[in-house]
Amino acid sequence: SEGITIRHLFKKKKEGQKITMVSTYDYISAKLCDEVGIDCVLVGDSLGMVFQGYESTLPVSLDEMIYHTKAVKRGIKRAFLIVDMPFMSYQVSLEEAIRNCGRVMKETGANAVKLEGGEELAELTYRLVNIGIPVVGHLGFTPQSVHALGGYRVVGKKEEEQERVKRSFKALEDAGAFMIVLESVPSSLAREITQASKSITIGIGAGPYCDGQVLVFHDLVGLVEDIKPKFVKRYVEGAKIFRDALRRYKEEVERGIFPSEEESYG
Ligand code: KIV
Ligand code: NA
């Protein structure tokens, strides 16, 4: 069968089937996601922290996003592919934003772009959707605004913040964003929004009531050990397993056990 489309995703929402998404940055991991039937693969700008080792997502460039997305795309047969537009690639002007989003779509084979922000992105979202570029929104805690938000935290504990998230959701939905990620918001807020939504809601740190869920590959396989937000669940202790393998490899090489005849050419 062909790849997953927006229509498949809306059908899932309508039928109350959860939509699965993984954020990842390379060919091998994307292939694993695709093979097990993850619906959507996101090339997240979290790659700035997880892949590149920066302290935030701000330093990531558009060229780097395109480079990673091309690698991910080659690992995918079926999953719906979404690309994060990095910081400052869509904020300067409508014209520059449209050109950059268009460039991503042309060069990577992605199915949609994702933008962080609220009402201020309504016009851009409307324009993109009307030239055929599907838009995913991202509300609540938006990592590209970490400095303005005052660090990593839950957004929407206070009434005023809740109202802003709801207003932003409505604005993006009305502008044509087919899917909106809700990050680090109280689950009651995510439930209220999802119940009234036409767009698909995808949660991360947003509780169990969204239409779907996203986690970062490296988080869910336990490769990220230094930070573990409450919303991360490690399905395997990847770092421990890999470290153990590396120790055994090191020891075997040092002791002359590996390579043996079995791994050698006659
Ligand atoms: O960059 C990312 O990986 C993301 C998801 C966690 C939503 O934006
Ligand atoms: Na992101």
pLDDT at 73: 98
By most ligand atoms within 8 Å of CB, the mutation choice from 23, 82, 220 for ligand 1 is: 23
Q: How far apart are CA 12 and CA 16, in angstroms?
A: 6
pLDDT at 36: 98
ipTM over 0.85: yes
pLDDT tens track for 172-219: 999 999 999 999 999 999 999 999 999 999 999 999 999 999 999 999
- Check: CB of residue 45 under 8 Å from CB of residue 236: no
81 within ligand 1 shell (Cβ under 6 A): no
Question: Cα of 238 to ligand 2 centre, how many Å?
Answer: 22
23 within ligand 1 shell (Cβ under 6 A): yes
List every span in the chain annotated with CATH 3.20.20.60: 6-235
What is the H or E stretch that residue 252 is in?
helix 238-254
181 within ligand 1 shell (Cβ under 6 A): yes
Rg of the Cα trace of the chain? 20
* Residue position matching structure tokens 């957004």: 155
In terms of residues, how long is the chain?
266
- Tell me which amino acid residue 232 is: V
Neighbour count for residue 26 (Cβ, 10 Å): 16
pLDDT at 228: 85
Smallest CA separation from ligand 1 atom 4, residue:
44
Closest atom of ligand 1 to CA, residue 57: 1
44 within ligand 1 shell (Cβ under 6 A): yes
- Check: CB of residue 206 under 8 Å from CB of residue 139: no
Closest atom of ligand 1 to CA, residue 50: 3
pLDDT at 227: 81
**Domain range 6-235, its CATH number among 3.20.20.60, 3.10.310.30, 3.30.930.10, 3.40.50.11270:** 3.20.20.60
* Percent of the chain's residues with pLDDT above 70: 100
136 within ligand 1 shell (Cβ under 6 A): no
- Check: CB of residue 113 under 8 Å from CB of residue 85: yes
Kindly tell me if the per-residue pLDDT of 91 is higher than 90. yes
pLDDT at 13: 98
Q: Which residues are annotated as a binding site?
A: 45-46, 84, 114, 116
Q: How far apart are CA 97 and CA 114, in angstroms?
A: 12
Q: Which residues are catalytic?
A: 183
* Torsion sign (Cα): 179, 182, 188, 192: negative
Smallest CA separation from ligand 1 atom 3, residue:
44
Work out the mean pLDDT of the chain and round it to a whole number: 97
Rounded to the nearest 5 degrees, what angle is found at the Cα of 32, between the Cα atoms of 116 and 220? 55
| pTM for the predicted model, two decimal places | 0.98
Question: Cα of 14 to ligand 2 centre, how many Å?
Answer: 26
Q: Which residues are annotated as a binding site for Mg(2+)?
A: 45, 84, 116
pLDDT at 246: 98
* Residue position matching structure tokens 């002359």: 256
Q: How far apart are CA 128 and CA 95, in angstroms?
A: 11
pLDDT tens track for 98-129: 999 999 999 999 999 999 999 999 999 999 99
- Check: CB of residue 129 under 8 Å from CB of residue 135: yes
pLDDT-based confidence at 71, cuts 50/70/90? very high
Kindly tell me if the per-residue pLDDT of 1 is higher than 60. no
Smallest CA separation from ligand 1 atom 2, residue:
44
